[in-house]
Amino acid sequence: MSARPEVAAHSSSAGLPEAADLRRSDSLAREIFSDVANKWAFLIIEALGDRTLRFGELRNEIDGVSHKMLTQNLRMLERNGLVERTAHPTVPPKVEYALTEPGRALRATVSAMCGWTQRFLGDIEEARRRFDG
């Protein structure tokens, strides 16, 4: 008889609770990545940077984004805790958006990806020409 039954329930010999937690964690990670790994989310994150912007200002910063796509992506980013929405009680309403701490951390990754693209753009274009030719 174990002196601490709760340890047995979480031990690797039981396997199930740890495996279930890992599956849940992996599933959540895939869901979050799926949410944020789209061009509009990346462009929103990059546009906000260290600034606080209103909806119209943000829309002007992102070439080609529709009102609907900007709204959907801002809501998704807010849901995932990457963007903070602040509504001021004014007429007309003033709503501002800014990155949260996790959003700023993700921005560092997005910026690194943008830098990678700029650095290797010529190589990628050449590889595509060879492949397509």
Residue pointed to by tokens 């996790």: 102
Q: Which residue blocks in the chain are alpha helix, DSSP H?
A: 5-10, 16-36, 39-48, 55-61, 67-79, 101-132
73 or 31: which leads in pLDDT: 73
Q: Could you tell me the pLDDT band of residue 6, with boundaries at 50, 70 and 90?
A: very low
Q: Which long-range contacts (CB under 8 A, 24 or more apart) does 100-104 make?
A: 103/45, 103/48, 103/77, 104/50
pLDDT of residue 31: 86
Whether the pTM exceeds 0.85: the reply is no
Report the candidate in 100, 50, 47, 104 with the shortest Cα–Cα distance to residue 70: 47
Mean pLDDT of 107-119: 90
pLDDT of residue 85: 98
